[in-house]
Structure 1
Amino acid sequence: MELLALYDGNCVLCNKSKAKSEKLDWLGRVKWLSLQEYEKEGRKPAFRAIDLRRELHVIDGNGRIYKGFFAVRKMLLQFPVTFLPALLLYLPFAVKAGIPIYNWIARNRFKWMGEMCEDGSCSI
Protein backbone atom coordinates (compact mmCIF):
# COMPACT_ATOMS: atom_id res chain seq x y z
CA MET A 1 0.00 0.00 0.00
CA GLU A 2 1.43 3.36 -1.00
CA LEU A 3 1.02 6.34 1.27
CA LEU A 4 0.94 9.97 0.20
CA ALA A 5 2.88 12.19 2.60
CA LEU A 6 1.94 15.85 2.40
CA TYR A 7 4.30 18.40 3.86
CA ASP A 8 5.06 22.10 3.76
CA GLY A 9 7.59 22.47 0.96
CA ASN A 10 8.85 25.75 2.47
CA CYS A 11 9.59 24.22 5.88
CA VAL A 12 13.23 23.38 6.60
CA LEU A 13 12.38 20.61 9.09
CA CYS A 14 9.77 19.13 6.74
CA ASN A 15 12.25 18.99 3.86
CA LYS A 16 14.97 17.45 6.01
CA SER A 17 12.51 14.91 7.43
CA LYS A 18 11.42 14.05 3.89
CA ALA A 19 15.03 13.50 2.78
CA LYS A 20 15.77 11.22 5.74
CA SER A 21 12.53 9.27 5.24
CA GLU A 22 13.26 8.74 1.57
CA LYS A 23 16.58 7.12 2.50
CA LEU A 24 14.70 4.65 4.72
CA ASP A 25 11.99 3.93 2.14
CA TRP A 26 13.79 1.13 0.30
CA LEU A 27 10.50 -0.32 -0.93
CA GLY A 28 9.13 2.97 -2.28
CA ARG A 29 5.98 2.89 -0.17
CA VAL A 30 5.69 6.60 0.54
CA LYS A 31 5.16 9.25 -2.13
CA TRP A 32 5.98 12.76 -0.98
CA LEU A 33 4.10 15.79 -2.26
CA SER A 34 4.37 19.33 -0.95
CA LEU A 35 1.24 21.22 -0.10
CA GLN A 36 2.27 23.76 -2.72
CA GLU A 37 2.43 21.06 -5.46
CA TYR A 38 -0.80 19.50 -4.18
CA GLU A 39 -2.62 22.81 -4.56
CA LYS A 40 -1.04 23.50 -8.00
CA GLU A 41 -2.53 20.21 -9.21
CA GLY A 42 -5.93 21.66 -8.37
CA ARG A 43 -6.61 19.24 -5.54
CA LYS A 44 -8.72 20.44 -2.69
CA PRO A 45 -7.42 19.10 0.61
CA ALA A 46 -9.88 17.73 3.15
CA PHE A 47 -8.03 19.77 5.78
CA ARG A 48 -6.89 23.33 6.23
CA ALA A 49 -3.53 24.30 4.70
CA ILE A 50 -2.53 25.90 7.99
CA ASP A 51 -2.97 22.52 9.71
CA LEU A 52 -0.55 20.95 7.27
CA ARG A 53 1.96 23.66 8.10
CA ARG A 54 1.67 22.61 11.74
CA GLU A 55 2.02 18.85 11.29
CA LEU A 56 2.74 16.16 8.74
CA HIS A 57 -0.27 14.62 6.97
CA VAL A 58 -0.32 11.14 5.42
CA ILE A 59 -3.14 9.83 3.22
CA ASP A 60 -3.51 6.09 2.75
CA GLY A 61 -4.92 4.24 -0.27
CA ASN A 62 -8.44 4.44 1.18
CA GLY A 63 -8.27 8.22 1.56
CA ARG A 64 -7.90 8.12 5.34
CA ILE A 65 -5.84 11.03 6.67
CA TYR A 66 -3.31 10.60 9.47
CA LYS A 67 -1.88 13.69 11.14
CA GLY A 68 1.16 14.44 13.28
CA PHE A 69 2.19 11.57 15.54
CA PHE A 70 -0.23 9.21 13.80
CA ALA A 71 1.24 10.09 10.40
CA VAL A 72 4.79 9.43 11.59
CA ARG A 73 3.71 6.16 13.19
CA LYS A 74 2.00 5.04 9.97
CA MET A 75 5.02 5.95 7.86
CA LEU A 76 7.54 4.20 10.12
CA LEU A 77 5.63 0.94 9.60
CA GLN A 78 6.42 1.20 5.88
CA PHE A 79 10.21 1.25 6.24
CA PRO A 80 11.99 -2.09 6.76
CA VAL A 81 14.53 -0.65 9.20
CA THR A 82 11.90 1.05 11.41
CA PHE A 83 9.11 -1.51 11.15
CA LEU A 84 9.77 -3.30 14.45
CA PRO A 85 10.36 -0.17 16.54
CA ALA A 86 7.23 1.36 14.96
CA LEU A 87 5.15 -1.47 16.38
CA LEU A 88 5.95 -0.10 19.84
CA LEU A 89 4.19 3.11 18.85
CA TYR A 90 0.94 1.14 18.67
CA LEU A 91 1.05 0.22 22.35
CA PRO A 92 -1.59 2.09 24.39
CA PHE A 93 0.86 4.27 26.34
CA ALA A 94 2.66 5.38 23.17
CA VAL A 95 -0.13 7.73 22.09
CA LYS A 96 -0.13 9.52 25.46
CA ALA A 97 3.60 10.18 25.18
CA GLY A 98 3.90 10.41 21.38
CA ILE A 99 1.38 13.17 20.73
CA PRO A 100 2.90 15.69 23.18
CA ILE A 101 6.44 14.84 22.04
CA TYR A 102 5.51 15.27 18.37
CA ASN A 103 3.69 18.54 19.10
CA TRP A 104 6.62 19.90 21.11
CA ILE A 105 9.07 19.10 18.29
CA ALA A 106 6.72 20.65 15.70
CA ARG A 107 6.26 23.83 17.78
CA ASN A 108 10.01 24.21 18.27
CA ARG A 109 11.19 23.09 14.85
CA PHE A 110 12.77 26.41 13.99
CA LYS A 111 14.91 26.16 17.14
CA TRP A 112 15.99 22.62 16.22
CA MET A 113 16.94 23.50 12.67
CA GLY A 114 18.71 26.76 13.47
CA GLU A 115 17.10 28.45 10.48
CA MET A 116 13.70 29.76 9.59
CA CYS A 117 11.47 28.56 6.82
CA GLU A 118 11.35 30.52 3.57
CA ASP A 119 7.85 31.90 4.15
CA GLY A 120 7.86 31.97 7.95
CA SER A 121 5.69 28.87 8.26
CA CYS A 122 8.02 27.48 10.94
CA SER A 123 6.77 30.24 13.22
CA ILE A 124 3.19 28.89 13.06
Structure 2
Amino acid sequence: MKFVALYDGDCLLCQRSKVKSQKLDWLEKVNWLSLQEYEREGRKPSFEAADLRRELHLLDDCGRVYKGFYAMRKLLLQFPLTIIPALLLYVPFASFIGAPVYRWIAKNRFKWMGKECSNGSCSL
Protein backbone atom coordinates (compact mmCIF):
# COMPACT_ATOMS: atom_id res chain seq x y z
CA MET A 1 0.00 0.00 0.00
CA LYS A 2 1.29 3.45 -0.91
CA PHE A 3 0.68 6.42 1.37
CA VAL A 4 0.67 10.16 0.73
CA ALA A 5 2.04 12.22 3.60
CA LEU A 6 0.74 15.78 3.55
CA TYR A 7 2.73 18.37 5.45
CA ASP A 8 3.04 22.14 5.70
CA GLY A 9 5.70 23.10 3.18
CA ASP A 10 6.26 26.45 4.94
CA CYS A 11 7.10 24.86 8.30
CA LEU A 12 10.79 24.24 8.97
CA LEU A 13 10.08 21.43 11.46
CA CYS A 14 7.76 19.75 8.93
CA GLN A 15 10.40 20.04 6.20
CA ARG A 16 13.07 18.53 8.46
CA SER A 17 10.74 15.69 9.47
CA LYS A 18 10.05 14.97 5.81
CA VAL A 19 13.77 14.81 4.93
CA LYS A 20 14.53 12.47 7.83
CA SER A 21 11.55 10.26 7.01
CA GLN A 22 12.54 10.00 3.36
CA LYS A 23 15.95 8.68 4.41
CA LEU A 24 14.19 5.89 6.32
CA ASP A 25 11.78 5.05 3.50
CA TRP A 26 13.98 2.48 1.73
CA LEU A 27 10.96 0.70 0.26
CA GLU A 28 9.48 3.97 -1.07
CA LYS A 29 6.09 3.44 0.54
CA VAL A 30 5.41 7.12 1.18
CA ASN A 31 4.97 9.96 -1.26
CA TRP A 32 5.50 13.34 0.44
CA LEU A 33 3.42 16.24 -0.79
CA SER A 34 3.18 19.70 0.72
CA LEU A 35 -0.21 21.22 1.36
CA GLN A 36 0.79 24.03 -0.96
CA GLU A 37 1.50 21.58 -3.84
CA TYR A 38 -1.69 19.68 -3.06
CA GLU A 39 -3.75 22.87 -3.37
CA ARG A 40 -1.89 24.01 -6.53
CA GLU A 41 -2.85 20.72 -8.16
CA GLY A 42 -6.48 21.74 -7.63
CA ARG A 43 -7.25 18.97 -5.15
CA LYS A 44 -9.92 19.60 -2.59
CA PRO A 45 -8.92 18.07 0.72
CA SER A 46 -11.53 16.47 2.95
CA PHE A 47 -10.10 18.44 5.86
CA GLU A 48 -9.28 22.05 6.63
CA ALA A 49 -5.90 23.43 5.56
CA ALA A 50 -5.51 24.89 9.05
CA ASP A 51 -5.79 21.35 10.48
CA LEU A 52 -2.92 20.22 8.29
CA ARG A 53 -0.84 23.13 9.49
CA ARG A 54 -1.37 21.84 13.03
CA GLU A 55 -0.51 18.17 12.42
CA LEU A 56 0.72 15.67 9.86
CA HIS A 57 -1.91 14.02 7.65
CA LEU A 58 -1.41 10.64 6.01
CA LEU A 59 -3.70 9.43 3.21
CA ASP A 60 -3.98 5.78 2.22
CA ASP A 61 -5.07 4.20 -1.07
CA CYS A 62 -8.63 3.78 0.22
CA GLY A 63 -9.00 7.49 0.97
CA ARG A 64 -8.69 7.20 4.74
CA VAL A 65 -7.05 10.15 6.46
CA TYR A 66 -4.84 9.62 9.52
CA LYS A 67 -3.97 12.71 11.55
CA GLY A 68 -1.35 13.66 14.10
CA PHE A 69 -0.25 10.83 16.40
CA TYR A 70 -2.23 8.29 14.38
CA ALA A 71 -0.55 9.41 11.16
CA MET A 72 2.88 9.30 12.79
CA ARG A 73 2.50 5.76 14.11
CA LYS A 74 1.15 4.54 10.75
CA LEU A 75 4.05 6.29 9.01
CA LEU A 76 6.63 4.71 11.31
CA LEU A 77 5.26 1.26 10.41
CA GLN A 78 6.30 1.87 6.80
CA PHE A 79 10.03 2.17 7.56
CA PRO A 80 12.11 -0.96 8.24
CA LEU A 81 14.14 0.70 11.02
CA THR A 82 11.11 1.98 12.92
CA ILE A 83 8.71 -0.97 12.73
CA ILE A 84 9.41 -2.23 16.26
CA PRO A 85 9.08 1.19 17.95
CA ALA A 86 5.94 1.80 15.87
CA LEU A 87 4.39 -1.44 17.12
CA LEU A 88 4.80 -0.15 20.67
CA LEU A 89 2.58 2.78 19.70
CA TYR A 90 -0.21 0.28 19.00
CA VAL A 91 -0.29 -1.28 22.45
CA PRO A 92 -3.56 -0.65 24.29
CA PHE A 93 -3.86 2.86 25.69
CA ALA A 94 -0.68 4.13 23.91
CA SER A 95 -2.81 6.77 22.23
CA PHE A 96 -3.83 8.16 25.63
CA ILE A 97 -0.23 9.28 26.08
CA GLY A 98 0.92 9.55 22.46
CA ALA A 99 -1.83 11.80 21.11
CA PRO A 100 -1.44 14.53 23.77
CA VAL A 101 2.36 14.38 23.50
CA TYR A 102 2.14 14.73 19.71
CA ARG A 103 -0.26 17.70 20.04
CA TRP A 104 2.00 19.36 22.61
CA ILE A 105 5.06 19.02 20.35
CA ALA A 106 3.11 20.30 17.34
CA LYS A 107 1.66 23.21 19.31
CA ASN A 108 5.07 24.27 20.66
CA ARG A 109 7.11 23.81 17.47
CA PHE A 110 7.15 27.56 16.87
CA LYS A 111 9.00 28.09 20.16
CA TRP A 112 11.66 25.59 19.15
CA MET A 113 12.04 26.73 15.56
CA GLY A 114 12.04 30.44 16.30
CA LYS A 115 10.64 32.70 13.59
CA GLU A 116 11.92 30.63 10.70
CA CYS A 117 8.57 29.78 9.14
CA SER A 118 8.06 31.98 6.11
CA ASN A 119 4.36 32.63 6.70
CA GLY A 120 3.93 32.05 10.44
CA SER A 121 2.31 28.65 9.88
CA CYS A 122 4.36 27.15 12.72
CA SER A 123 2.62 29.48 15.12
CA LEU A 124 -0.81 27.84 14.63
State the aligned residue count.
124
Counterpart for residue 5 of structure 1: 5
Unmatched 5+ stretches in structure 2: none
Dislocated runs of 4+, deviation >6 Å: none
Partner of 1:63: 63
Structure 1 residue 111: deviation in Å?
A: 1.9
Residue 116 of structure 1 deviates from its aligned partner by: 3.0
Secondary structure in 2 aligned to 1:92?
coil
- d(CA) in 1 for partners of 2:83, 2:41: 32
* Aligned equivalents of 2:114, 2:85: Cα separation in 1: 28
Taking structure 1 as the reference length, the TM-score comes to: 0.97
Work out the percentage of aligned pairs sharing the same amino acid: 68
1:42 aligns with 2:46: no
**Could you say what secondary structure the match of 1:26 adopts?**
coil
**Aligned residue in 1 for 2:51:** 51
Per the TM alignment, residue 110 of structure 1 is displaced from its structure 2 partner at its CA by: 1.6
Give a deviation string over 1:29-75, Cα, whole Å, max 9, x none: 01000000000100000000000000000001111000000000000
Which residue is 1:85 aligned to? Answer: 85
| Alignment partners' CA distance in 2, 1:22 and 1:73 | 15
Q: Which amino acid aligns with 1:108?
A: N
Matches within 5 A, 1:108-119: 108-119=108-119
Length-normalised TM-score, structure 2: 0.97
1:63 maps to a residue whose letter is G
**Matched-pair contact (CA < 8 Å) for 1:12–1:115:** no
- Extract unaligned runs of 5+ from structure 1: none
Q: What is the CA–CA distance in structure 2 between the aligned matches of 1:93 and 1:111, rounded to whole Å?
A: 29
The 3-state SS of whatever aligns with 1:28 is coil
